[in-house]
């Protein structure tokens, strides 16, 4: 049975797959207080742990996107999920230094890049009647991963220890692998066939990557430092983790609503994504006000509006390149990984030397820049 005959099973499987391979990178942000205390590292050094996952994904994104076109979506998803299971269990069981954690996260980041591009290919080839809604449901996997990472703080990190969060994540990935194997059929090209080439020009895809870089810099910082910033603003560790999850839940809800309307809207997806990012930048700027109540309210605004844009940008790219979505999003996702790679390094340094107030102002500025570029190139997708 092909993916075309059961499209909604494909969508459900891709959501689980998205959560599974991105969760290791989001967990290291949510667990920053516990891990940094055990490993005795500063925010600036810890930023390398946050960046290593997405840095590896950045390096591998384009090549792994092309590989998905050659070996098929299912084959690459299977390999990526299997690798993610192994590396998370190895991290939980053997990592005794922060350098070892970074090494494991590099491998996990490559698995995530391989998985994300193959997921986009599976959606592009599934002949979905509501592609925009499907992409939004799939993109809801990212804030879902943040939600789970936030819940991991009070439920696991503060009870049985942070390592068990990675054990639980590996178990979740194993379930996801079983669902993916059942729901998705491979569409491997014939031997010797050239992979599909994106219809969008390389220049347009690179501009799309630039949008992703600036906006991912800002959105990634919400996950990376949301808990640490909440604690600094006066919240308890458990409560800060809980409101990271609440913010992520807000983002999930609004992403699905956005996808519901994206299939019928007349506005260009990149334009709508840019406008939503501008609204999110307001919440990020308000996070510079250091008080518990302000932090909670601003997180809801920042997550709610500041995390909607990937629905529209990914929808625009996949819709324009349905048979080459793996290769096309390999380019645009590279920009996203650049943002979340550079973000923790720069923001960690800013926090250490200038505090959270200045860090959130930098993050809000990045969101504004990405939003402006997205609006200006909207007619190209």
From residue 241, give the alpha-carbon distance in Å to each of 63, 161, 274, 360. 35, 15, 28, 18
181 or 277: whose pLDDT is higher? 277
Helix, strand, coil percentages (3-state) for the chain, rounded to 5, are 85, 0, 15
Domains of the chain (ranges plus CATH)?
Answer: 3-186+196-380 (1.20.1250.20)
The pLDDT-based confidence of 62 (bands split at 50, 70, 90) is: confident
Check pLDDT > 60 for residue 246: yes
Looking at residue 188, its pLDDT comes to 46
Looking at residue 82, its pLDDT comes to 96
Mean pLDDT of 170-191: 76
Cα separation, 180 vs 15, whole angstroms = 10
User: DSSP string spanning 210-233?
Assistant: HHHHHHHHHHHHHHHHHHHHHHHH
User: DSSP string spanning 119-142?
Assistant: HHHHHHTS--TTHHHHHHHHHTHH
Mean pLDDT of 72-82: 92
pLDDT digits 0-9 by tens, 216-242:
999 878 877 888 888 888 888 778 877
Copy the structure tokens of residue 278: 């501008």
Copy the structure tokens of residue 248: 């992520």
Cα separation, 120 vs 7, whole angstroms = 13
359 or 225: whose pLDDT is higher? 359
Cα separation, 333 vs 311, whole angstroms = 13
Helices (H) and strands (E) in the chain, counts: 14, 0
Q: Is 182 exposed, middle or buried (0-12, 13-18, 19+ CB in 10 A)?
A: exposed
Check pLDDT > 70 for residue 192: no
User: DSSP string spanning 307-340?
Assistant: TSHHHHHHHHHHHH-GGGHHHHHHHHHHHHHHHH
Rg (alpha carbons) of the chain, rounded to whole number: 19
Copy the structure tokens of residue 246: 């609440």
Mean pLDDT of 127-140: 74
H-helix or E-strand spanning residue 71: helix 43-71
- Under 8 Å between Cβ of 291 and 363: no
pLDDT digits 0-9 by tens, 326-355:
778 888 888 988 888 888 778 888 988 899
The pLDDT-based confidence of 307 (bands split at 50, 70, 90) is: confident
Indicate the average pLDDT of the chain: 84
Copy the structure tokens of residue 78: 């299977």
- Under 8 Å between Cβ of 124 and 321: yes
Cα separation, 119 vs 125, whole angstroms = 10
The pLDDT-based confidence of 144 (bands split at 50, 70, 90) is: confident
Cβ neighbors of 361 (< 8 A, separation 6 or more) are: 285, 288
Find tokens 């930023």 and name the residue: 47
Check pLDDT > 70 for residue 8: no
Check pLDDT > 60 for residue 190: no
């Amino acid at each position: 049975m092909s993916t075309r005959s059961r499209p909604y099973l494909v969508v459900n499987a891709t959501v689980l797959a998205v959560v599974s391979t991105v969760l290791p990178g989001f967990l290291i942000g949510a667990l920053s207080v516990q891990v940094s205390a055990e490993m005795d590292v500063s925010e600036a050094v810890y930023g390398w742990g946050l960046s290593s996952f997405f840095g590896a994904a950045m390096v591998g994104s384009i090549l792994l996107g092309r590989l998905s076109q050659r070996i098929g979506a299912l084959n690459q998803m299977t390999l990526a999920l299997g690798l993610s299971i192994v590396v998370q269990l190895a991290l939980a069981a053997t990592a005794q230094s922060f350098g070892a954690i970074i090494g494991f996260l590099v491998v996990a980041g490559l698995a995530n890049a391989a998985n994300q591009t193959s997921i986009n290919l599976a959606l592009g080839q599934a002949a979905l009647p509501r592609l925009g809604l499907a992409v939004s449901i799939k993109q809801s996997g990212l804030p879902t991963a943040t939600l789970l990472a936030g819940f991991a703080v009070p439920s696991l990190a503060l009870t049985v220890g942070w390592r068990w969060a990675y054990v639980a994540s590996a178990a979740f990935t194993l379930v996801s692998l079983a669902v993916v194997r059942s729901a998705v059929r491979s569409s491997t090209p014939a031997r010797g066939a050239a992979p599909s080439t994106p219809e969008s020009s390389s220049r347009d895809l690179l501009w799309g990557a630039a949008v992703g870089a600036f906006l991912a810099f800002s959105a990634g910082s919400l996950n990376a430092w949301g808990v640490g910033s909440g604690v600094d603003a006066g919240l308890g560790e458990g409560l800060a983790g809980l409101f990271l999850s609440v913010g992520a839940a807000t983002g999930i809800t609004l992403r699905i609503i956005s996808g519901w309307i994206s299939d019928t809207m007349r506005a260009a997806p990149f334009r709508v994504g840019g406008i939503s990012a501008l609204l999110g930048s307001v919440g990020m700027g308000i996070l510079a006000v250091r008080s518990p109540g302000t932090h909670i309210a601003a997180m809801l605004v920042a997550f709610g509006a500041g995390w909607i844009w990937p629905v529209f940008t990914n929808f625009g790219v996949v819709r324009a390149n349905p048979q080459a979505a793996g290769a096309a999003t390999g380019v645009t996702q590279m920009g996203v990984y650049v943002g979340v790679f550079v973000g923790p390094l720069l923001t960690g340094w800013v926090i250490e030397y200038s505090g959270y107030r200045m860090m959130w102002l930098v993050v809000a500025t990045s969101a504004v820049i990405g939003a402006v570029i997205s609006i200006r190139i909207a007619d190209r997708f």
